[in-house]
Each structure stands twice: as C-alpha cells, then as structure tokens.
Amino acid sequence: MNRFQRWVREVAVILFVSLFLTLSTAVKAKEFKTLGNKKAPVRGTFAYSFTAEPENLNPISSTDDYASQIQDYTCDSLMTLNVETYEWMPALAESFTVGKNAMSYTFKLRKGVKFHDGSPLTAKDVKFSFDVIRNPAYKASHRMPYFENFESVEVIDSHTVQVNIKKKYFKNFEVFVSKGFLPIVPQKAYGNPKKKMSKKIICSGPYKMGKYNKAKSIELLRNKDWWGWQVPHMAGKYNFNKRIIRFLKEENLRLQMMEKGRLDFLELGKEAYHKKTNNPPWGKTIKKVEIENRAPKGYGFVGFNLLDEKFKDKNVRKALAHLLNRELINEKFRYGKSHLATGPWYRFSLYADQTVRPLMFEPETAKKLLDKAGWRDSDKNGTRDKLINGKKTEFVFTLLLPSKDVEKYFTLYKEDLKKAGIQMNIQYVEWNTFLKSVDDKKFETVAMGWNGGSVHLDPKQIWHSASARKGGSNFISYSNPEVDKLIDQGRDVLDHNQRAKLFKKVYKLIAADVPYIFMFNDKYAHYGLAPGVGQVKPTYKFDLGQEYWWATK
C-alpha cells in the first residue's frame, strides 16, 4: 500500500476469485480477452501532472503514491488484474499451479523477457525481489506485514520458481503476484543496497525512464522490447510513445496548463469541477468527465502523533474532531458531494461497521471533553493549558500540509479551534521533507491520506502496533491490543464474509479511539481530458483504464 492525498468514492462489494484455493491446473493467457482497442494507433505523447515530485523511485523502498504510479508503467509483476472483472491474468508468469492445501505455488516464467538494461529476467530475479523485502538494508519495512507468512522462494530452474507458505493468509496469492506488493527487479541493478537508486527505475515494464528534469518533470519512453506486445490479452495497451509527468503544486497552475494544451489529463477536485471549469475550453474542447466505479478508494485524514503528550488522551482527540466543521467544508468546498468519513477505511465497505456514526461539529461537546482531559484556561489568556510532567503547557500545535490545495479547509478549522482555546499553526512543507518528517515521527499533526489499496483490505500495515516501526505505515504509533488481536485473527480467515465480522469490530474500535480525524468519502471522481485522447470508455469497473487510451491524431 502507498501514500497520497486521494479523496474517496464508493466501494462496492464484489466477488473475489480465490485462485489459491480452487486452481490446481495452469492458467493460460489465451483464456482472457483484451479490454483495449486493438486498432488503436501507437503514437504521440500523453502529459499529466503530479502535485509533487516523488521522493524515491526505487521499487523496493519507495512508499509514496507518486512513485507507485510511475512503477505501474515501468515495472512488471507475475500477474496483472483485469480492470473490468478483477480477475488475475498472466503477466511475467505464463502459468502457475497450486500445491496441496494452497501451501505452495509454482510459477512458470515467460521466456525472452528483458529488463530495461538488456539483461534477461530469470527465476533468480524473482527470488531476489522477494528476499530483499526481509533484508533491513533495503528499507522495505512497509512491505513486511504482507510477507511474514511466506517461508521461502526456491529456484527450480531458470524460469520456474516455487513459493513456500508457512501460514495461511487470505492475501498470500495477491501479495506475491501483484505489482503493488512485489514488483520484479533485476538483481544485477539492485543487488547492492548501498546504491540508493532513488532517481531511476530499472524493471521490465512497457515504459522505461527517459529524461528526468529535477523538480520539473519525468519522461517515460515506450519500451519496444516489452514482452507484452506479443501477448493477445495485452493488445491495445500502452499506446503512447511517450508519457510526461509534470510536477505542478498549485491547482490554478494545473488548470492553466490544461487549458494551454500542456496537459492531456487532469484529475479535478470538487471545487475545480463545479466552479473553476465552467467556461470554455472546459466542456467544449476539453472534456469534463464525472465517473463512478468500483475501484478501491482512499480517504484523507488529520493524523495525531500519539507519542506527543498532548494527543495521548482519547478525549482530546475526540474534542479536536468535534471542532472540525466537516459539514461546512463539504458544503462550501465539496458541493455536498462527499460523505463524512466514519472510520479507518471506506464507510460503506463490506468491512466497515455501519453503526459507527461520523463525529459531527459540536463545539460545546468538544469544550466539555477538553475540560475533562484537564485542558483549561487557567490564566485567562484565551489559550487552554495543562500541567504536563510538572510544566505548564499551552495547547498549541502545528499541522503539517504537503499541499496547499486543502489549506482552506484548515483555515476554517484554525478559527474554530481558537474559539475553543486552542492555537493551531498551519505549516506547508515540500513533499519530500514532509515524508521525512512523517517517517521520522517528527510532527505533531499531519494532513494527508491513504489510497484505496486492495478491494479485500488488510488493516495490519496501518493499524497494527507491529507496523509502528521506523519507516512503517503506522507512523502515528497507534496501539490497541484488542485491535492487534482481531487483525491477526482476521488475516487467518480465508472467507471474506467471515473475515468481515472481525474487521468490522476493528473498524469500530479504531473509530472510537480517534487516532485520525477521518475526513471524507467520495462517490464520484472527476477529470478533464484533452480532445486528442481516445478512450474505449470513460472508466472500467475497477479503474479508469488509462493504459488503454491512445492519441487520436
């Protein structure tokens, strides 16, 4: 799972193909049809933007969603998901078999696959890509919770690997075959952990790194040697000769670049879609699109550093949640199009407890909770204070922002906090510096978000106390023994309906602890599209399907 500020839309309950339980024979590529336009021309450049430059492009150690999006086009995995049916399709693995009781998988690798540096991909590279995750020198601790149930990977021959399982876990198959968990990298390029490889990617995917203009843009060039060009179900994919990702922090600048034809695609926030794009060329030459699909969705949040004495008391965190006027923010800036989030993942998920209600804007309730926690204005100077470790401490804290796009939300919040006797400073921090502050736990509060991850989620990476290690995703240091126990139990349950009963309890417990102020869940997503881009359709069931777009001229 990777980080970024993606506000959410709706998740639908779907049927997941439990391949690791039901298959005993090899799966062949010919069983799957292409989802793309087989006649799509290969040409042109596709330009889009990130709001910040990726901190680290290394597929092993990177943690942010910007890097993940680039790796989606430059790296490969053993299998790939069908964005229309959510079934696994062969990728680097031509076929696989499942051992007795699903305690092993054997994968047959495609022959003739080359990495971007020209070296051949073999079974040793698959084993290496797995082994480095357990090597602390590679700083892949954020991936560790997903791989702890694997015993080993054996090289059977140059193009066959056997994966041995030591403990059943409902995501074992998904983890080993998917790009988000296990991108396959060459041992030749990444074998020395002292080489950071933070500004380059060497994989085997359909695009390879081109020109990198620091703080400005990254170019991806179509890989003519990609194995996928010869595979029928990959037809109609990756049709642009070049992809350009521009780093543009300010929303108004992104809109201007789109209007000037410097961008071909732009994700639009609620305000941008409903207010800032009502005049030509928007809606005329630039297509405005509103879509709804079943893709796993993320959410934004304000996270508390639970090692900070100010935020250790649950009453304080709950009070701070009651002082954030999400209802007003939703109406004023999101046009009433969002649901108020209630807990640690999408509130309408199969795994969310529907009895949990959102914490509403209730200043008087908040004041009572602060009084209960011992935060009072003892010297009548307008700011609450409390004795902490024998020292009078005023309730003053800093909120770190990695993007100015949501600063207006927290300007309102700052005023309501002040009325309740709390001072909050808002500090905008450049993305790479922001991530370092988070990883090092050198913050008081942060505003950020999680992307949606997998449809059948696993809370361990973010919410288990074992994930509170340095570089782990539980950077707020949340710990609840009952939550840990339920997560561990749920991970052993293969049936997702039975697992949902346990994870609903996890949802309710975390929501009650208020480790985050959970922001919004969205139903719709919006984007702008240049006139020269062709599509089979605006979205597939589980993804936009950008890999199937093409240049019409």
Share of the chain above pLDDT 90, in %: 82
pLDDT in tens, 169-195: 999 999 999 999 999 999 999 999 999
Q: Residue 384 — pLDDT band, cuts 50, 70, 90?
A: very high
Strands (E), 13-112: 45-50, 79-81, 88-90, 93-98, 104-109
Q: Does the pLDDT of residue 1 top 50, yes or no? A: no
Q: Residue 404 — pLDDT band, cuts 50, 70, 90?
A: confident
Cα angle: 145, vertex 149, 151; to 5 degrees: 130
Q: Residue 94 — pLDDT band, cuts 50, 70, 90?
A: very high
Compute the half-sphere exposure of residue 328: CA atoms within 13 Å on the CB side of its CA.
Answer: 13
pLDDT in tens, 108-122: 999 999 999 999 999
Q: Residue 546 — pLDDT band, cuts 50, 70, 90?
A: very high
* CATH T-level fold of 299-522: Dipeptide-binding Protein; domain 3 (3.10.105)
Q: Residue 14 — pLDDT band, cuts 50, 70, 90?
A: very low
pLDDT in tens, 261-281: 999 999 998 899 999 999 999
Q: Contact 161/126 with Cβ under 8 angstroms? A: yes
CA separation for the pair 133, 178 (Å, rounded):
14
Alpha-carbon separation of residue 190 from 125, 134, 394, 421 (angstroms): 10, 14, 49, 52
* Mean per-residue pLDDT, 496-507: 96
> Residue 222: its pLDDT value, please?
98
Residues 6+ apart with CB under 8 A from 24: 97, 98
* Domain extent listing, the chain: 54-207, 299-522
pLDDT in tens, 321-350: 999 999 999 999 998 888 999 999 989 888
Domain range 54-207, CATH architecture: Alpha-Beta Complex (3.90)
* Mean per-residue pLDDT, 59-87: 94
pLDDT in tens, 223-261: 999 999 999 999 999 999 999 999 999 999 999 999 999
> Residue 13: its pLDDT value, please?
26
Q: Residue 101 — pLDDT band, cuts 50, 70, 90?
A: confident
Q: Contact 175/168 with Cβ under 8 angstroms? A: no
